[in-house]
Homo-oligomer: A and B are copies of this chain.
Amino acid sequence: MDASVFSYVVDTLFALFAMTLIILMVPGFAMLEAGLVRTKNVTTVLMVNTMIYSVASFCFLLVGYLVAFGSWDHNTDMSKWAVFLFQMAFVGKVVNIMSGGVSERTAIIPLTIFTIIMSALIYPFIVNITWGAGTLFHLNMYDLAGSTVIHSTGGWALLAAILIIGPRKGRFVDGKIKVIPASNIPLVVLGAFLLWIGWFGFNGGSVGAISSKENADAVALTVMNTNTAGLAGAIIVMILVYLKYKKFDITMILNGALGGLVAITAGADKFGIYTPIIIGAIGGVLVFYAVPFFDKLKIDDPVGALSVHLVNGIWGTLAVGIFASDVSLFDQIVGIVVVGIIAFVSSYAVIFAINKFMKFRVDDDTQTEGLDVELCGIESYPEFKRAI
């Protein structure tokens, strides 16, 4: 029995397993967002999620993967097709983060064009300078599974998009913030748990191999720490929302869990089993305070994506520099800043340019009527009588 066959086969199987879990995040994001938006915009949100998986994965296959890694045959010790699949599973997530936060007011076609550019060029370039070929330069930031590379990148793109597209009609009126309730809580919960489970593949798979005792331990520890941070994020927000409102606001609690999961993503393999409690709990606290903070700034983000992904993407990347003895906090900060500038500036420029000849924002009437009939021709639940 040849040891190289063993590691090649087992690491390929492991990558396929991890990839499958990550792709469970596609229905995960779709259900989470479909549950959070209003009934009249649900089909559009689902269409956007379907478009993103299809278009982003396809562009990554044709162009993005080569931009990131230079060739199909870069150095790997498992099937190169499994390496591709694992990397491809990530790309849609970046656009998902962005698209969720501009839900209920954004047109599909300009978003599709942005998806093409993000998945073929912007995100692959960021991978190139972090995990990839390092064609121009290579950042020293430690970012296991993408607190910065995935989550902050998506978050910066979202911030750029919100600044250009603006808030939903009726969200901020006469200086007041109108709360728009989620339309379907079971879908929110289903989506959040599919994301949570997908994260095991996201972070665990990012260890890159499982075929030695050391790697097997690293993968299992990574999954364990990932989960722990999610638990801590959920629990701390459960306490905070109860103390403040005397109600268990489940959407905030689940965003707390997701915040913890984003925060642990940069360094899940670097800590003992108790540190993720701190990192995840701080992640939850950040979500709890960031959501109303963005509201006050009149930055309208229907799903809380900035708080979950951008704020915690930054926090998680910093946390590795703070808690891991072999990682330089300075390198982490450089990485956060460089990726942040590239992601924000390029996204802003691309969205601004697209917006010049094809408006991202749908008009007020369509927003009032709901995007579904106008953009998709299909209502999400046509048979149910509406109360609002």
Residues of A within 8 A of B (CB): 1-3, 5-6, 8-10, 12-17, 19-21, 23-24, 26-27, 30-31, 34-35, 38-39, 42-43, 46-47, 49-51, 53-55, 57-58, 61, 78-82, 84-85, 88, 108-109, 181-187, 189-190, 193-194, 196-197, 200, 204, 210-213, 215-217, 219-221, 223-224, 227-228, 230-232, 234-235, 238, 242, 245, 247-251, 253-254, 257, 273, 375-388
Cα A230 to Cα B380 with chains together (Å) = 23
Assembled-state Cα–Cα distance A385/B49 (Å): 27
Task: Determine whether the beta carbon of A57 is less than 8 Å from that of B231.
Answer: yes
Contact A1 B12 (CB under 8 A): no
Say whether A228 contacts B47, CB under 8 Å. no
B245 and A377 contact, CB distance less than 8 A: yes
Contact in complex: A193, B13 (CB < 8 Å)? no
- Interface majority SS (helix, strand, loop, mixed), chain A: helix
Are A6's CB and B8's CB within 8 A?
no
Q: From the candidates B20, B235, B248, B253, name the one contacting A375 in the complex (CB within 8 A).
A: B248
**Contacts A/B (CB < 8 Å), 8 sampled:** A12-B220, A13-B13, A23-B196, A38-B383, A39-B383, A54-B231, A54-B234, A80-B217
What B residues does A250 contact at CB under 8 A?
43, 46-47, 50, 376, 378
Query: Bound complex: CA of A202 vs CA of B172, how far in Å?
Result: 49
Report yes or no: A30 in contact with B376, Cβ–Cβ below 8 A.
no
**CA gap between A176 and B96 in the complex, in Å:** 41
